Amino acid sequence: MPGRWQHMLIFWMASILLGCGALTPVRRPMQLRLEADQYGQGATSMQQLCEPGMCYVGQQVYLDESDVRGAMLQEGEAQGSLVLEFTEDGARKLKLVTRSNNGRRLAVVQDGKVLALFMIREEIAGGKAELSGKPTDLRRIFESLTEPARQPPAP
């Protein structure tokens, strides 16, 4: 029976062979906005894909896909993480928005829908943000951000 270190080595080797752990470029439009407390006053109602129902999201776009260098998905059985790596300009913007909004939630918006809401726990400096959650939710977000947009069939 393999020991703990052997399992970790197998997982590490599999992640290299499968390309896990590599930074994948963001290929589809996305926005990072703050969740709003109520409708109005610069907020709009959007459908959530991460939870049933609607939520209120501010209209100000703090970051978009041009600010993100790439994404990396790390999956575990019960918990996973999605790492977003930002450009130099994106890292500066992320630091500013997280510094002044501790305790609020940041919405990942795509195609007018909220893919996920993540709690800002501290100022994020250094150009990388790690989002944790259910592996299935994180995989959906990762694929939505990194897979090329599907073109409609030609008539």
DSSP-assigned states of every residue in 40-69: BTTEEEEEESSSSSEEEEES---EEGGGEE
pTM reported for the whole predicted model: 0.73
Residue 13 within a domain: no
- Number of domains within the chain: 1
Sign of the CA dihedral running 85, 89, 90, 95: positive
Decide: helix, strand or coil at residue 104: coil
Contact 86, 25 (CB under 8 A): no
Which mean pLDDT values do the consecutive 10-residue runs of the chain (155 residues) have? 40 38 81 82 71 83 92 84 93 96 91 88 92 84 79 58
pLDDT of residue 150: 60
In a domain, 104, yes or no: yes
Residue 44 is part of a domain; what is its CATH number?
A: 3.30.1360.200
In a domain, 1, yes or no: no
Quick one: pLDDT at residue 100? 94
CB 21, CB 12: distance < 8 Å? no
Give the pLDDT confidence score for residue 146 in this predicted structure.
Answer: 86
Token pair, residue 22, equals 């590599």
Q: Look at residue 99 and tell me if it is in a domain.
A: yes
Has residue 155 been placed in a domain? no
Q: State the residue range of the domain holding 137.
A: 22-146
Measured between its terminal Cα atoms, the distance across the chain in Å is 58
Residue 6 lies in a domain: no
Q: What token pair was written down for 83?
A: 């790492």
- 46 lies in some domain: yes
Place of tokens 């599907």: 150
pLDDT of residue 53: 77
Q: How far is CA 110 from CA 97, 114, 115, in A?
A: 19, 6, 7
Is 152 domain-assigned?
no
As given in the structure block, the two tokens for residue 29 are 């439009």
